[in-house]
Structure 1
Amino acid sequence: MALIEFSQPAGFGDTIGLINNWPQEMLSELCEEVILLLQYKIGSINRNKYLEKLLMQDSTLTSEKVKSCINAVSHLYRFAAKAKLSGEDLHQQLTSDFTCGVSTLSVITNVWKTKGPSLIACNFTEEKLNIGQLVDLQWKLGMAISSDSCKSLNSPFVILKLKVSDPSGNLHTYTMEMTLTQFKNFSTQLKEIASLLATV
């Protein structure tokens, strides 16, 4: 099989170097969890579980480094599923593109040989979640001057207007009113979601 171009995220090579130091059993467990995650059978991977075990052999590890390892394995398996690679094809790709240790290479490809076909079969890369798509977002800042219970309220608020297209293509408009504090929390959560999506 001809090699397929593999786009490496920034720092990917360094992360592979970290993964090379993982014990085989732990890496195998992570690989299996990543495949379950990509099949939407689990919601997340507990990186602290791995960090606690790995700190015994490398005290310089951090939660962020473990997260990078999880993201790297996810990226590899997502690529392999999209390209519909067999275990041998993935082995060849990893051998040519990366400096994977022998045991790392063995674990990643062996798990792929047994669990990969089920991920390819579910066509996760081509399926779309049966949810709406955000088409437009508008916001407006206002000031509540008074209310029935308070003569001088003087409280700022934000009105969000979301235009969403449902899976059948129909447009729906949703309006929300938030206090400034609620809007700041909402904004922070959106930033966190965006940064998580950037690693996927």
Structure 2
Amino acid sequence: MPADESCGVTKVVDNIARLSPDLLAEACQHILTYLQGQIKGVDSGEISQRFQRAGVGLAHEALQSIIRFLLLTFRSAGKSKLSADELVLRLEEGSSKWPKASLQVVHRLWSEQGALVQTQQEAHAMLSIGQLVDIQWKLGMAVSSDTCRSLNSPYVTLLLKIAEPSGQICQKSFEMTIPQFQNFHKQVKEMAAVMETV
């Protein structure tokens, strides 16, 4: 682990050490509930208010770092299908400053809910599809082909730019005959009409 990354983990763990086991459990529970798909997001304002009511004053950036760290930790553990023991071992390897009580909270919650997070992560991975960013088309004329019977027949080339779930943008291109393109156009119009009714 690079020194600056190690230093960042140490700061986060130092801030987590300021939380009582109950307060850490509440924050972890909020994040686990999100990772199980039961809520739409992690409400850092709600977590911040809870910390303040408990007398723990954390700077905004420190709170955000804790939330990001816990999200990444639980999401990674879900994708890697870690057991509670394996998760705690990884946390201890990342920083020797973990309070025993904090590790016990993480162990208990992951033992109870880790399987649900793993299931949600698997479903999310299967359902992740790219998002269409751009579509371009051009009309061409076939002048030579292995498969086309009649040359000088028009065709349409489509170039799609798709943002993958990983964040990378890839390009896909394909060619269609004019009748295929007309059918494609008809289907897109039907989809647009249906989407307007939703």
Report the equivalent of 2:115: 117
Q: Determine which of 50, 55, 58 is the counterpart of 1:57.
A: 55
Give the SS at the match of 1:127. Answer: helix
State the distance in 1 between where 2:109 and 2:132 align.
Answer: 37
State the Cα RMSD in Å: 3.6
How much has 1:130 moved relative to structure 2? 4.9
Report the equivalent of 2:178: none
Residue deviations 1:22-74, cap 9 Å, x none? 12112112112212212332112222222233235344x22222121111111
Give the SS at the match of 1:45. Answer: coil
Which runs of no fewer than 5 residues in structure 2 stay unpaired?
137-158, 165-171, 175-183, 185-198
Query: Using a 3 Å threshold, how does the CA distance of structure 1 residues 137 and 38 change in structure 2: closer, same or farther?
Result: farther
TM-score (norm 2): 0.58
Q: Determine which of 61, 65, 69 is the counterpart of 2:66.
A: 69
Give the SS at the match of 2:125. Answer: coil
State the distance in 2 between where 1:126 and 1:92 align.
Answer: 26
In the TM superposition, structure 1's runs of 4+ consecutive aligned residues that sit over 6 Å from their partners are 169-172
State the distance in 2 between where 1:66 and 1:95 align.
Answer: 21
The structure whose Rg is larger is 2
Q: Determine which of 8, 17, 20 is the counterpart of 2:17.
A: 20
Name the amino acid aligned to 1:43: K
Flag the structure with higher helix content: 2
Q: Determine which of 85, 89, 94 is the counterpart of 1:92.
A: 89
Q: How many residues align structurally?
A: 142
How much has 1:165 moved relative to structure 2? 4.6
Query: Using a 3 Å threshold, how does the CA distance of structure 1 residues 132 and 74 change in structure 2: closer, same or farther?
Result: same
TM-score (norm 1): 0.58
Report the equivalent of 1:183: none
